[in-house]
Amino acid sequence: MECFNCGANLSNSPFCNACGVDVSKYKKIMYTANRFYNDGLMKANVRDLSGAVVSLRQCLKFNKNHIDARNLLGLIYFETGEAVAGLSEWVISKNIRAQKNIADDYINMIQQNQGRLETINTTVNKFNNALGLCLQDSPDLAVIQLKKVLSLNPKYVKAHQLLALLYIEKGEYEKASKELDRAARIDAGSLITRRYQKEVEKALNPLDEKTKKKKPAFANGASKEYKIGNETIIQPYKEHENSTISTVIHIAIGLVIGLLAAYFLILPAKVNSVRKENASEVSSYGQEIDKKNAEIEELNTKITALEQSNLDLQSNLQQYEGQNGTKNATDYLLGAAYAYIDTNQTDVNVEEYLSAIGQDYIDNHASTEFIELYSLLQEKIGGSVSQSYYDSGLAAYNQMNYDTAIDNLKKAYNYDATSDDALYYLGLAYYDSGNIAEAKNRFDELINTFPTSELVDKARQKLEEIGD
């Protein structure tokens, strides 16, 4: 363990032997982080991936620079189908430690396999479409989308869980049980999977009331006891032996009673039973016909609703697509990450990918991992991108191409709010283009924001010219 102040190796002493700083609390924090990492590693070994994610996130709260925990968390995300979240953890890990980091191998593995990358993008798109169909009360279409998702990525735990939930809603508990078993084989510790399995088990194995039959008071071999004086006499029950004649008579009487009972009781009951069965069949046929008619009407209504909601779906898809309609926000973020890693591309290429992501998607739809990676990339490229846009804007201004100059200088100032040069030339570009009001705003901003800048006097001169 190294000292957080000077980087020297620490001993068992509560103080650093090199710089003398108190490291007792620091050691407790590091030990706690390592305990959470070990706990997460043990859970991952027994495929309790949900529990492992919780432990590893606790580890990173105590030590955000824990490389092994961040790489393992990325692997778990990737194993459960969360490719974007896994890639985010690996990119952050690579930025913390650029050399001798296995995260570099993981990223290259995905980057070099374009087919796998396309599969990941397709899986994310189809899963998001399935969620949208669920919200629009179209479970059948959502089931079709989820089956396609699982054919591309059989380890997508959330897709298994959502498909099982749709089967439960439709009453197809056997299919739901199979999907939940598949999800449990991937992530044995998921509480959502266990809760769904419990509901399916209740539906498949309802509790039956057990009936108990009372035994007769006297069984074969029972006996009767009575006393004569001081003696107890035990007399077993005996069946009376019937004579042949009485037996024949009893049989004849039984046959007559049976025939009469069949004629007066059984036959009318049978006739009534047949009539009821016929009436029940006729009623069931009528119900089937009514059901089919209702289904036809429902399908016609759904067709009309689908045609009407087509525009709404297109609008929703625009939140995930770019201007050419072929790339979504995940594509642009992955492209930006790869451009940042690739030494053959510049930070301007990274900025082009990031600028293609809509602000509405970031504010309302992006996950926490998505925003973390987006913010990290913006922070890394801010200075160089600002300088690049400033140089391009200044060159355009010198060539009197004021529209291009305004666009580039505005981006330069947005990426580096400390650049008084970018703000001054932005005001000059507005002034020379004829937009006097915006030029005045920029010069006023320069004077108020950078009161000690050497460009303040020039800005005041321009304001005096505007005032004249």
pLDDT tens-digit map of 171-200 = 888 888 998 899 888 888 888 888 988 988
pLDDT over 60 at 103, yes or no? yes
Is 272 inside a domain boundary? no
pLDDT over 90 at 336, yes or no? no
Q: In this structure, are 123 and 78 located in the same domain?
A: no
What share of the chain in percent tops pLDDT 70? 86
Q: In this structure, are 143 and 198 located in the same domain?
A: yes
77: which residues sit within 8 A by CB, 6+ positions away? 53, 83, 85, 86, 89
Q: In this structure, are 134 and 93 located in the same domain?
A: no
Confidence band of 325 (pLDDT split at 50, 70, 90): very low
What share of the chain in percent tops pLDDT 90? 10
pLDDT over 90 at 149, yes or no? no
Is 229 inside a domain boundary? no
- What integer pLDDT is reported at residue 234 of this predicted model? 60
The whole-angstrom separation of Cα 352 and Cα 297 is 50
Q: In this structure, are 95 and 130 located in the same domain?
A: no
Confidence band of 468 (pLDDT split at 50, 70, 90): low
- What integer pLDDT is reported at residue 124 of this predicted model? 84
pLDDT over 50 at 210, yes or no? no
User: Mean of the pLDDT values across residues 423-439?
Assistant: 90
Is 165 inside a domain boundary? yes
Domain closes at, from 204, 226, 254? 204
Confidence band of 211 (pLDDT split at 50, 70, 90): very low
Residue 64 domain boundaries: 24-112
Q: Write down the pTM of the prediction.
A: 0.44
Averaged confidence pLDDT in the chain: 81
Is residue 381 a contact partner of residue 349, using CB atoms and an 8 Å limit? no
pLDDT over 70 at 213, yes or no? no
Tokens representing 82 are 């969360």
Q: How many separate domains does the chain show?
A: 3
Domain closes at, from 80, 112, 144? 112
pLDDT over 90 at 313, yes or no? no
236-276 residue pLDDT tens: 545 444 567 878 888 889 888 888 877 777 777 777 778 88
The whole-angstrom separation of Cα 320 and Cα 358 is 8
Q: In this structure, are 420 and 382 located in the same domain?
A: yes
Is 209 inside a domain boundary? no
Q: In this structure, are 393 and 448 located in the same domain?
A: yes
The whole-angstrom separation of Cα 92 and Cα 100 is 14
For residue 12, which phi and psi values (nearest 5 degrees)?
-75, -10
286-309 residue pLDDT tens: 778 877 888 788 777 777 777 777
Q: In this structure, are 60 and 136 located in the same domain?
A: no
The whole-angstrom separation of Cα 410 and Cα 426 is 7
Is 142 inside a domain boundary? yes
Give the dihedral of Cα atoms 296, 297, 300, 306; nearest 10 deg: -110
In angstroms, the Cα distances linking 33 to 39, 72, 283, 367 are 10, 14, 69, 25
Tokens representing 223 are 């006996």
Q: In this structure, are 103 and 62 located in the same domain?
A: yes
Q: In this structure, are 376 and 433 located in the same domain?
A: yes
Check which CATH number belongs to the domain holding 139 and give it: 1.25.40.10
Q: In this structure, are 108 and 122 located in the same domain?
A: no
Domain closes at, from 112, 138, 163? 112
Confidence band of 109 (pLDDT split at 50, 70, 90): confident
Is 401 inside a domain boundary? yes
Is 357 inside a domain boundary? no
Instruction: Report the range out of 13-22, 26-35, 108-117 with the highest average pLDDT.
Output: 26-35
**More confident call, 449 vs 354:** 449
- What integer pLDDT is reported at residue 406 of this predicted model? 93
379-413 residue pLDDT tens: 777 778 888 888 889 999 999 999 999 998 988 88
Q: In this structure, are 90 and 157 located in the same domain?
A: no
- What integer pLDDT is reported at residue 232 of this predicted model? 60
Is 70 inside a domain boundary? yes
Q: In this structure, are 108 and 124 located in the same domain?
A: no
